[in-house]
Chain A
Amino acid sequence: MITVKNLSVNFGAMRAVDDVSFDVDVEETFGLVGESGCGKSTLLRVLCGLNRDWHGAITIDGSTITPNRSRAFFKDVQMVFQDPYGSLHPRHTVNSVLSEPLVIHRMDRIDARVAAMLDQVGLGPAFRYRYPHQLSGGQRQRLAIARALILEPKVLLLDEPTSALDVSVQAEILNLLKDIRQMRKLTCILVSHDLAVISYMCQRIAVMNHGQILEELSPAQLTGTTGHHPYTAQLLTASRGYDHTLAQELPES
């Protein structure tokens, strides 16, 4: 479904994404895990069309992608942003947020589609005319997901969708994402720094650091203790929480 070959993005002298190549199959959820600054978010922004300054070859659903995207492209590929507090316009109601993409793409039955979408993400009609500041973090993220899905895309890009949410809300959103991707047969790319979230949601995982993909593996392979790139092993150790032996290993001061 998605093929990326030798993608590079430079911000001035810095290589944010360094010669990255990977594939994503149809209806697969591909995970990109790495720490801040590794280039995973930049990669996503290139794929969704926000960043036009890149080199390499990208194909989505058979068509070659150029830096300038057509309007039809945006119908097929959508993104959910990390910060539910920043990704919604403070002055637009829920109804406005969901109808706007439909108006831009001149789709029909706007009212029905908006109502249906609100139901699908677990927000009822009571939320339709609220403003973002009247919604909780979890509700806002549901709205962001609804907004991404209302154009019925084939590909959904998720940039740390639960990182800014409380732990107790995270499970709801992850469950929602699982349900929706199955129902709509979506191909997804999920970016996160949280190895647990990635291994829960994805069928294949790529580990990124300093703009490069170091390793590709499956969640099952993650739990295995051998055969990892040292950085992956580091991430795995970190995800298990703190270990008191680390203090003992510190050099004497």
Chain B
Amino acid sequence: MTAQLIVEDLRVRFSTAHRVIDAVRGVSFTVGREKVGIVGESGSGKSMTARAILKLTPPQAKLAAKTLRFQEIDLAAATERQMLKVRGRRISMIMQDPKFALDPVMRVGDQIAEAIPADRRGSRAQDRERVLGMLDSVQIRDPKRVFELYPHEVSGGMGQRIMIAMMLMPEPSLLIADEPTSALDVTVRLRVLAILDELAAQRHLGLIFISHDLNLVASFCDRVLIMYAGRIVEQCAASELAHAKHPYTRGLLASLPRVGDTRGRLPVLTRDPAWLSS
């Protein structure tokens, strides 16, 4: 599979008056037209990596990479104007909580229509048809009714599907999803993931799925990257996760309780300082 996104030695650094924080410390990976999961705990740098790809890091962050390339575009060297053509168009991003990502004073349908790139817009009626078609493809049963709703009138699961619809309108080739289902109930989660799965397959999308939930990522994605303290400590196929090599991954897997667990105590992950420099 040819890689769409090539990341080599990505670094993100925050320098304040008192100290320097390296949020991402030399991360390298590729993403083709496949589902790649990035798993890590809080502070591991997974969200910052995603933002770095789209150059959406906070202004005080410094970004550096040996290679940061998406298809034919050199993202590292791209100016802000060039990035504007990439964000939302070639690479889209779905956030965790639709409540915060959707404009509360605009109708849902209008927001999705806004996502159609300017050069592909038609008349109002044509755009509306496209939006309704998109709402249908995210399994929303009554697209015409939902088109007219405001964000506060939709439930969490529907809101997330609307986000997905909005992000897929411009027909990107790569989708980054940052904890897209963490704010959703478990039963709703699976439906949203099924929709994402189906759409990604249909449209030959690349998908980067960021989460703290190792089991979810392992069952949903094709490949898994485990991040710890700004570095990728493990890269493997999702099916091979049980045979993970790095002690952090093994420790994490072992410390998770499971339904039907008969262990008296859960093994606690002991952090080896050596992992910080491996």
A–B contact via C-beta, under 8 angstroms: yes
Q: How far is the CA of A251 from the CA of B189 in the complex (A)?
A: 17
Contacts of A6 in B (CB 8 A): none
B212 contacts partner chain A, Cβ-Cβ < 8 Å: yes
Q: Which one of B48-56, B89-97, B104-112, B250-258 is at the A interface? A: B250-258
Kindly report which residue of chain A lies nearest to residue B221, judged by CB atoms: A242
A243 contacts partner chain B, Cβ-Cβ < 8 Å: yes
B84 contacts partner chain A, Cβ-Cβ < 8 Å: no
Task: Report whether A242 and B220 are in contact in the complex, using a CB–CB cutoff of 8 Å.
Answer: yes
Give the contacts of A161-185 with B (CB-CB under 8 A). 166-168, 170-172, 174-175, 178
Kindly report which residue of chain B lies nearest to residue A166, judged by CB atoms: B41
Contacting B212 at CB < 8 Å: which of A166, A239, A244, A251? Answer: A166
Task: Report whether B137 and A242 are in contact in the complex, using a CB–CB cutoff of 8 Å.
Answer: no
Would you give the shortest CB distance from B232 to chain A, in whole angstroms? 17
Q: How far is the CA of A174 from the CA of B266 in the complex (A)?
A: 8
Contacts of B194 in A (CB 8 A): 242, 246-247, 249-250
Give the contacts of B238-278 with A (CB-CB under 8 A). 251-252, 255-261, 263-269, 271
B187 contacts partner chain A, Cβ-Cβ < 8 Å: yes
Contacts of B255 in A (CB 8 A): 167-168, 170-171
Q: Which one of B6-14, B72-80, B169-177, B195-203 is at the A interface? A: B195-203
Contacts of B42 in A (CB 8 A): 137, 166
Q: How far is the CA of A249 from the CA of B255 in the complex (A)?
A: 33
Contacts of A251 in B (CB 8 A): 139
A199 contacts partner chain B, Cβ-Cβ < 8 Å: yes
Contacting A171 at CB < 8 Å: which of B189, B264, B267? Answer: B267
Binary CB contact string for chain A from 223 to 253 against chain B (1 if under 8 A, 0 otherwise): 1000000000011111111111011011101
Would you give the shortest CB distance from B87 to chain A, in whole angstroms? 27
Kindly report which residue of chain A lies nearest to residue B181, judged by CB atoms: A242
Contacts of A170 in B (CB 8 A): 255-257
Contacting A247 at CB < 8 Å: which of B201, B212, B261? Answer: B201
Q: How far is the CA of A238 from the CA of B193 in the complex (A)?
A: 11
Kindly report which residue of chain A lies nearest to residue B267, judged by CB atoms: A171
B158 contacts partner chain A, Cβ-Cβ < 8 Å: no
Contacts of B264 in A (CB 8 A): 178
Which of under 10, 10 to 19, 20 to 34, or 35 or more describes the interface residues of A? Answer: 35 or more
Q: How far is the CA of A167 from the CA of B136 in the complex (A)?
A: 36
Task: Report whether A196 and B265 are in contact in the complex, using a CB–CB cutoff of 8 Å.
Answer: no
Binary CB contact string for chain A from 193 to 215 against chain B (1 if under 8 A, 0 otherwise): 10111011000000000000000
Task: Report whether B190 and A238 are in contact in the complex, using a CB–CB cutoff of 8 Å.
Answer: yes
B219 contacts partner chain A, Cβ-Cβ < 8 Å: yes
Binary CB contact string for chain A from 106 to 144 against chain B (1 if under 8 A, 0 otherwise): 000000000000000000000000000000010000000
Q: A167-B214, A238-B186, A238-B189 are in contact. Are A247 and B197 (CB under 8 A)?
A: yes
Task: Report whether A246 and B190 are in contact in the complex, using a CB–CB cutoff of 8 Å.
Answer: yes
Q: How far is the CA of A244 from the CA of B259 in the complex (A)?
A: 21
Q: A168-B251, A196-B261, A246-B197 are in contact. Are A238 and B219 (CB under 8 A)?
A: no
Contacting A36 at CB < 8 Å: which of B185, B219, B251, B256? Answer: B185
Task: Report whether A235 and B186 are in contact in the complex, using a CB–CB cutoff of 8 Å.
Answer: yes
B218 contacts partner chain A, Cβ-Cβ < 8 Å: yes
Q: How far is the CA of A193 from the CA of B218 in the complex (A)?
A: 20
Kindly report which residue of chain A lies nearest to residue B264, judged by CB atoms: A178
Q: How far is the CA of A238 from the CA of B187 in the complex (A)?
A: 6
Would you give the shortest CB distance from B137 to chain A, in whole angstroms? 4
Would you give the shortest CB distance from B132 to chain A, in whole angstroms? 11
Contacts of A242 in B (CB 8 A): 190, 193-194, 197, 216, 219-220
The interface of chain A, by Cβ under 8 A from chain B, is: 35-36, 137, 166-168, 170-172, 174-175, 178, 193, 195-197, 199-200, 219-220, 222-223, 234-244, 246-247, 249-251, 253
Show 23 residue pairs from A and B whose CB-CB distance is below 8 angstroms, ordered by the A residue.
A35-B186, A168-B41, A168-B255, A168-B269, A168-B271, A170-B257, A171-B266, A178-B264, A196-B257, A196-B259, A222-B259, A223-B260, A236-B259, A238-B186, A241-B215, A241-B219, A241-B220, A242-B197, A242-B219, A250-B195, A250-B198, A253-B136, A253-B139
- Across the A-B interface, the 6 shortest Cβ-Cβ residue pairs: A241-B219, A223-B260, A171-B255, A238-B186, A200-B257, A171-B266
